[in-house]
Homo-oligomer: A and B are copies of this chain.
Amino acid sequence: MGMGRRHWAIPEGYIPSWSHGPQPQMTSHETVCVLNASDDHAHVAITIYFSNREPAGPYRFTVAPRRTRHLRFNDFSDPEPIPNDTDFASVIESDIPIIVQHTRLDSRQAENALMSTIAYPADP
Contact of A114 among B25, B52, B113 (CB under 8 A): B113
Contact of A103 among B12, B25, B33, B54 (CB under 8 A): B12
- How many copies of this chain does the complex contain? 4
Q: Per-residue CB proximity of A15-30 to B under 8 Å, as 1/0?
A: 0110001000110000
The interface of chain A, by Cβ under 8 A from chain B, is 2-4, 7, 9-14, 16-17, 21, 25-26, 31, 33-35, 37, 49-52, 54-55, 66-70, 85, 87-89, 91, 99-106, 108-122, 124
Contact of A109 among B52, B67, B100, B110 (CB under 8 A): B110
Q: Looking at the assembled complex, report how far the CB atom of A108 sits from the nearest CB atom of chain B, in whole angstroms.
A: 7
Tell me whether B66 and A49 are in contact (CB under 8 A). Answer: yes
Closest to A52 in B: B67
Tell me whether B89 and A68 are in contact (CB under 8 A). Answer: yes
On chain B, the residues within 8 Å of A51 by CB distance are 67-70
Contact of A122 among B3, B26, B52, B110 (CB under 8 A): B3
Contact of A67 among B49, B67, B112 (CB under 8 A): B49
